[in-house]
Amino acid sequence: MYYDIQSIGLQAQKSGSTDINPIAFVQYKEFYNLVEKTSHSKDWKEREKVLWRNRYNPAENRTFTDAFKLRLFHGVIEKVENPDDRSIRQIYESNGRSYGESVFARWEEEMRMMEKEHNLWEY
């Protein structure tokens, strides 16, 4: 599998609302160049701004670009294709189910996608 990151999106949620709205997108190439430039700065405080901290091993610090290359981040599945074009959370809330159940449903969808990918490679 080949990963090609196009952009990084920043999202915001208004307090009291369930809608998550994109507020900005940054091209990955611009992000990469800025992080690389900052990581080679002579000023230690500047270099600290682009460090990815490993909470399980404090001795292992990497730059954000290294963390993206190694896929050390974890994304949450918000939406899958459906006729009403609603997020998983909205589907569960409209059915009177709890937020916790929607979190589990997102994790379950991720497991389904991983299993599908595994089965494709195994075939």
Check if the beta carbon of residue 48 is closer than 8 Å to that of residue 38.
Answer: no
pTM for the complete prediction?
Answer: 0.55
Per-residue pLDDT of the chain (123 residues; tens, 9 = 90+): 567 788 888 888 777 776 777 888 999 899 889 988 998 889 988 888 888 888 788 788 888 888 888 888 777 788 888 899 888 888 998 999 988 898 899 999 989 988 998 898 887
Instruction: Classify residue 8 by its DSSP letter.
Output: E
Where exactly are the structural domains of the chain? 1-73, 75-123
- Residue whose entry in the numeric block shows the structure tokens 């909470």: 55
**Token pair of 14 as six digits:** 């208004």
**Which pLDDT value is given to residue 27?**
92
CB atoms near residue 47 (< 10 Å)? 15
**Which pLDDT value is given to residue 72?**
80
**Which pLDDT value is given to residue 100?**
86
